[in-house]
Amino acid sequence: MAAVSLESVSKVYPGGVRAVRDLRLHVRDGELLVLLGPSGCGKSTILRIIAGLEEPSSGELWLDDQPATDLPPRERNVAMVFQNGALYPHRSIHGNLAFPLELAGEDPAEIRAKVVELSRALQIDQALDRLPGSLSGGQRQRVAMGRAIIREPSVFLMDEPLSNLDAALRTDLRLEIGALVRGLGVTTVYVTHDQVEALTLADRIAVLRDGRLEDLGTPTQVYEDP
Ligand code: ADP
Ligand code: ADP
């Protein structure tokens, strides 16, 4: 089963930039797919189309094998984190993680239990009462990821989540992201321009160039086959 299917998707921005060209891509249930390519090749546009923040100019999107091209973002079971996962500065870490569940009207005791459990998996359970401003960049990014996945989306999108961190933190957090999303079994599309990230994280890598799919396969297939 495909969690996400893009069928002949193209995106032309006003002004004529062709960001995505006739893309056919199926993300399998539960896999971690990395979209790899240089800046400007269309990676973020593809994520925004999956999230519903951008409409394709042509082609179709399917989510969990249901037509989703015209589905409003709120009705998609999709969560996204950005480079600078912005947090609510005046809410504690607990408050940040709890927010999506509060919006959904969940029971406070259940919210507390879910927040504590997820914060342990993310190794931020010691920081639940602190404000975002007192955390390190790596901790803040963990909170942003936690807030995105706490409602258990069927698709998790990450747009260069490590790009604003220093090298040592990047390695640590990369390993944790891999463990976290595999532990949750959530279908994940991860955008990066970093080959090492792609190689070490991906179940499969989709290599993009100028809005086109250039290669698609496991890290071994992409890097070792001619
Ligand atoms: P990447 O994520 O790989 O850096 P993007 O999807 O952000 O690529 O951008 C692909 C191309 O589309 C680039 O040429 C970029 O300048 C252009 N682009 C992105 N967003 C817009 C927009 N809102 N309006 C016009 N052009 C855009
Ligand atoms: P990234 O390279 O990480 O995709 P950018 O700095 O290219 O980020 O883009 C940041 C924001 O600016 C995005 O929301 C994108 O849609 C928008 N954008 C990018 N290129 C253009 C463009 N040529 N015209 C208008 N908006 C753009």
Q: What is the ipTM of this complex?
A: 0.74
Average pLDDT over residues 192-208: 96
Choose the weakest-confidence range: 129-133, 169-173, 215-219: 169-173
- Which residue of 13, 44, 163 sits with most ligand 2 atoms within 8 Å of its CB, as the best mutation to test the pocket? 44
Residue 225's pLDDT band, with cuts at 50, 70 and 90, is low
List, for residues 47-102, the tens digit of each pLDDT value: 999 999 999 999 999 999 999 999 999 899 999 997 766 899 999 999 999 999 99
Give me the pLDDT at residue 200, please: 93
In this model, does residue 223 exceed pLDDT 80?
yes
Average pLDDT over residues 208-226: 92
Q: 45: Cβ below 6 Å to ligand 2?
A: no
Task: List C-alpha distances in Å: 65 to 6, 29, 58.
Answer: 11, 10, 18
Residue 138's pLDDT band, with cuts at 50, 70 and 90, is confident
Q: 17: Cβ below 6 Å to ligand 1?
A: yes
Give me the pLDDT at residue 183, please: 87
Question: From the alpha carbon of 83, which atom of ligand 2 is closest?
Answer: 3
In this model, does residue 226 exceed pLDDT 80?
no
Q: 38: Cβ below 6 Å to ligand 1?
A: no
Give me the pLDDT at residue 114, please: 96
Tell me the sheet residues that pair with 32. 188
Choose the weakest-confidence range: 113-127, 143-157, 160-174, 188-202: 160-174
Rg (CA), the chain: 18
The share of the chain scoring above pLDDT 90, in percent, equals 80
In this model, does residue 187 exceed pLDDT 70?
yes
Q: pTM to 2 decimals?
A: 0.87
In this model, does residue 107 exceed pLDDT 90?
yes
Residue 169's pLDDT band, with cuts at 50, 70 and 90, is confident
Average pLDDT over residues 128-154: 93
In this model, does residue 210 exceed pLDDT 90?
yes
DSSP-derived secondary structure for the chain = -EEEEEEEEEEE-TTS-EEEEEEEEEEETT-EEEEE--TTSSHHHHHHHHHTSS--SEEEEEETTEE-TT--GGGS-EEEE-TT----TTS-HHHHHHHHHHHTT--HHHHHHHHHHHHHHTT-GGGTTS-GGGS-HHHHHHHHHHHHHTT--SEEEEESTTTTS-HHHHHHHHHHHHHHHHHHT-EEEEEES-HHHHHHH-SEEEEEETTEEEEEE-HHHHHH--
Distance between Cα 195 and ligand 2 center (Å): 22
